Chain A
Amino acid sequence: MSICSVDVPFYTSHYEMGVSRPSQQLTQYVTKIRNHASQTISLGWRESLCQKLMDIYSICNENGWDGYDAISINYPTVYAATILLELLPDNIEIPDVVAEPTGEIGLLWSKGKDVTFVLSVNPNTIIFAGLLGASKTHGETKLLSKLPNNIEEILLDYFSLS
């Protein structure tokens, strides 16, 4: 499922294709699907963060956007961030989305000064770092179709809503 609006995954004509009852029913279904697909799918906080990603892309798509010599945020990185958002567990606190001068996009969770966790993405990689009370963690992993267990555990252990 995509956070952003999607195209209907098959060809549909805007002309009515038949006059029979089944044909008209089919036309109605296709119209419903097209209308639904043209809207942003409501996914709560993921949807608002998707808008934030677009804002970041519009501001940070040129080098030096941070006033120093930041690397531009490119569209594949924005897309990777939308994928990462979809992989997050549902019942966690809403992260802050942060443009990074290294050209990545970070998702930031904080609980006071002692608990901070960052998940960053570029088109191929998830980079994570965290200050979790007395312990520290950092590393990299490939961006795949599932969030790695160690990252999911950190999110659920420290930033779960329940």
Chain B
Amino acid sequence: MKNLSDCVDDSEKIGRFIFYSDHFSSVNNTVKYAAFLPARDNKASVYRIDGYTEDLIDELDKEFISGKRTDGKISKGRADLLARQVRLSQLDVIAEPTPHKDHANIEGYFSDKSANKLKAIELARHATLVLHENL
């Protein structure tokens, strides 16, 4: 795992963990825009997963993502894309090494909901769906 820098490089792969199964289509193998809509803090939590194998991602999930939850929700899948593609949509990926050193946020969303939906559509368009085995 090579994500030691505070700065997320354009070429880095990031993964957005998805807990709600209606935010992707396993039939079409696509991610839906809603997976990339920001939370109330106007950020979307992601992990810097360059260099991770799926087994390591599974460990990360069990220990820091699904495993940290108190409501029993487990991640159903992941939307992977490159940091460059986020920046092409005039958003940014900012390292936020809590609760894990490879945690980051997609930031730069607007206060305008319709503009954010368009950004989310663009991100979903570039994302690759990875279904987790626990699905």
Contacts and interface: CB of A to CB of B under 8 A. Distances in A.
B34 A67 contact: no
What's the dominant secondary structure at chain B's contact region? mixed
What's the dominant secondary structure at chain A's contact region? strand
How many residues of A sit at the interface, in one of the four size bands? Answer: 20 to 34
Interface residues of B, number: 33
Nearest to B25: A96
A137 B117 CA distance: 10
Nearest to B37: A101
Contacts of B18: 67
Contacts of B115: 129, 138
25 contacts: A56-B22, A66-B23, A67-B17, A67-B18, A68-B39, A69-B39, A96-B32, A98-B23, A99-B34, A101-B34, A101-B39, A102-B113, A102-B116, A108-B33, A114-B125, A116-B33, A116-B125, A118-B121, A120-B117, A129-B115, A130-B118, A130-B121, A131-B118, A131-B122, A138-B114
